[in-house]
Structure 1
Amino acid sequence: MNETQQVECVWVPGTSDRVRLRLANHVIECRLSLVAKVFGRQFVDDLYLRGRASCSSSKQQLAMFA
């Protein structure tokens, strides 16, 4: 079975290339380019248009942020 975890992404205030990923038990701060590589263009488009984006992610996707 492929477990997923809900991820919410918001901008780091005062930046245009850094975001915060909120997971169930912690927060990760990283570059937007990595988020785009892992979650794709639609996720990034939602982030630009709404200021936040969310999705379900697999353990393999989350491992790329380690």
Structure 2
Amino acid sequence: MHELSCTWVPGTTNVVRLRFNGRTIEMTSTRLSRIFGPKVLGDLYLRGRAVLRADAAQVAKLT
């Protein structure tokens, strides 16, 4: 399992920045929701950040 840190990209309303294993990836919130499920966006909307646990298959979909 990998731990990912998610935050909004400043100045955007739908782009999320993911950080894990020293890498940074940016993607739309729609794509993030498709990979991890719509529940992941709850913490992002309420707190502006979220921590996710991802398996190898989910990490492969990020790249």
TM-score tier, shorter chain, comes to over 0.9
Secondary structure class of the residue paired with 1:16? coil
Q: Which has the larger radius of gyration?
A: 1
RMSD: 0.8
CA distance in 2, matches of 1:42, 1:54: 12
Q: Within the alignment, does 1:14 sit opposite 2:43 as a pair?
A: no
Which consecutive residues of structure 2, in runs of 5 or more, have no partner in the other structure? Answer: none
Deviating above 2 A after TM superposition, structure 1's stretches of 4 or more consecutive aligned residues are: none
Structure 1 residue matching 2:62: 3-state secondary structure: coil
Normalised by the size of structure 1, how large is the TM-score? 0.89
Paired residue total: 63
Among all aligned residue pairs of Structure 1 and Structure 2, give the percentage whose two residues are the same amino acid: 38
Q: TM-score, normalised by structure 2?
A: 0.92
Partner of 1:52: 49
